[in-house]
Structure 1
Amino acid sequence: MSHHSIADIRKEYSQQTLDEANVAAHPIRQFDLWWNECINSKIEEVNAMTLATASSDGLPAARIVLLKGYDDNGFVFFTNYNSFKGQQLEENPRACLVFFWKELERQVRITGLIEKVSAEESDSYFHSRPVTSRIGAWASPQSQVIESRSILKDKETELAESFDGKEIPRPLHWGGYRVKPVSVEFWQGRASRLHDRIQYTLEENGKWKIERLAP
């Protein structure tokens, strides 16, 4: 996509507004609207999102991961359960996701509770991955200190030989997490820094409260 067409997209969406009277009643429906507009705009890495976690003692950490699916139950990503983020999510099963689609001047912030997806769901996604990615899940002790890259390459070669011609099983230390939202904020860039911010908050009765926040 040329710079000119991206500029046109941004101009088109920066003229849009976000009004509490017009947004969807459920945040997943509103996310779905924006997600499809992003897909149709052919923005690169639409599914890239910041995942923020914290240890039980409050130590924060954040990194970019890829969204692999979403539905009314929440937002799913996959990783090594023994990684640093996996350790933090074990200690403190809460997280925040942030999508930033700069071309459309839009941001979505999702705060929620963490749960592991089912083994069946993790198996299904794992077996859909390229062979090299499946071997990589076995080869890398994610987040651990290693002496050199050659250790990874040697392990990868060794595993490729041992799995040659065989089905590669999913490592039990690798799988999916689901972020079940309790708060979702949609941010639409506007002129003069008077941006639109609409927040959905899950109430005890299971309904979503919709409020406008000051920019």
Structure 2
Amino acid sequence: MSEDLDLANMRVGYGQAATAGADGVAQHLDPAWLTGDPPWLALFQRWLAEAVAARIPEPNAMVLGTVDEHGHPATRTVLCKGADPGGVVFFTDYESAKGRDLAVNPIGAVTFPWIALERQVHFRGRVAKVDPAETARYWTARPRGSQLSARASAQSQPIASRAALEAAAQLSATELGGVDGTVPVPVPPHWGGYRLEPVSVEFWQGRADRLHNRAVAVREGDRWVTRRLQP
């Protein structure tokens, strides 16, 4: 590793200046901010809207963690395509690595890392496939090129080269009238949505001297309990 990369001494000065968010430096994140039913939804939607307004790259990107049949964890970034009282939604190939993980261990965790705003949100809970009608609605809203790529790619499987990948994509496009064609692209049978149904949602706010604020909503039976966590 280059001697110029002194990882041990890399620091971010959280809480030194007002952030782009509505909380700013003067207001400390508090469990009292978690209100409504469920208590995490309104604050999450507000923070997401503020991440969009602040032009955070890919504000709906979230790091998804799953566990395979051997107990080995893996993370990757996916895009959140829905947030409602039931949880957060993403779409993928059911036969991908994450799809295979979720088939044997239907639990997961996601993190929205809005570091530029000194914020993160963490969801943990069970993951279940969405209704096929919900998948179909989202699929029709996707760009045609993305639809064709999803049909062409055996996600997470090895392939010989970039050229082979592009050839498979071209074949997929040709079969359905091309990238600019008008023939509807059907939803692949192995592709669809998942909803992470949270049992806990934690909000994190960076503060000076690493004395960060953490507030969490935890599902206990049929009710939600909110509390502050130590940093």
- TM-score when scaled to structure 2? 0.85
Among residues 20, 36, 53, which one is paired with 1:9 in the alignment?
20
- Identity score, percent: 43
Residue 51 of structure 2: aligned partner: 38
Shift of 1:7: 8.0
In structure 2, the CA distance between the partners of 1:199 and 1:29, relative to structure 1 (3 Å rule), is: same
Describe the shift of the 1:212–1:140 C-alpha distance in structure 2 as closer, same or farther (beyond 3 A): same
Match of 1:185 in 2: 202
Match of residue 159, structure 1, among 172, 190, 210: 172
Tell me which residue corresponds to 1:130.
Answer: 143
CA distance in 1, matches of 2:122, 2:80: 13
Partner of 2:185: 168
Deviation at 1:91, TM superposition (A): 0.5
The alpha carbon displacement at 1:44 in A equals 2.0
Matching residue within 114, 117, 120 for 1:104: 117
Contact 2:21/2:47 (CA < 8 Å) preserved in 1? Answer: no
Q: Secondary structure at the match of 2:102?
A: helix
Shift of 1:97: 0.3
CA deviations on 1:37-65 (whole Å, 9 max, x unpaired) are 22232322110110000013211000011
Match of 2:102 among 61, 71, 89: 89
Q: Deviations over 1:103-146 (max 9, x none)?
A: 21001110011010111111111111111111101111100011
What are the superposed Cα offsets for residues 150-195 of structure 1, whole Å, 9 maximum, x if unpaired? Answer: 2221111112111014211000101110000001111111122111
Q: Runs ≥4 in structure 1, deviation > 6 angstroms? A: none
C-alpha RMSD of the superposition: 1.9
Q: Is the 8 A contact 1:67 1:77 kept in 2?
A: yes
- CA distance in 2 between partners of 1:84 and 1:158 (Å): 24
- 1:15 is displaced (CA, Å) by 3.5
In the alignment, which of 207, 210, 213 is matched to residue 226 of structure 2? Answer: 210
How many residues are treated as equivalent by the alignment?
A: 209
SS of alignment partner, residue 146 of structure 1: coil
SS of alignment partner, residue 9 of structure 1? coil
Structure 2 runs not aligned, ≥5 long: 1-16
Structure 1 residue 11 displacement after superposition: 11
2:35 aligned residue (21, 24, 35): 24
**In structure 2, C-alpha distance between the alignment counterparts of 1:182 and 1:29, rounded to whole Å:** 16
TM-score (normalizing by structure 1): 0.91
Report the residue type matching 1:190 in the other structure: R
**Counterparts of residues 54-93 of structure 1 (less than 5 Å):** 54-93=67-106
Q: Which residue of the partner structure matches residue 3 of structure 1?
A: none
Q: Which amino acid aligns with 2:190?
A: H
Deviation at 1:10, TM superposition (A): 7.1
2:63, 2:150 → 1: CA distance? 21
Do 1:15 and 1:190's aligned partners in 2 also have CA atoms closer than 8 Å?
Answer: no
1:181/1:101 CA distance change after superposition, 3 Å: same
Q: Secondary structure at the match of 2:76?
A: strand
Q: What is the DSSP-based 3-state SS (H/G/I as helix, E as strand, rest coil) of the residue aligned with 1:13? A: coil
- Counterpart code for 2:168: K
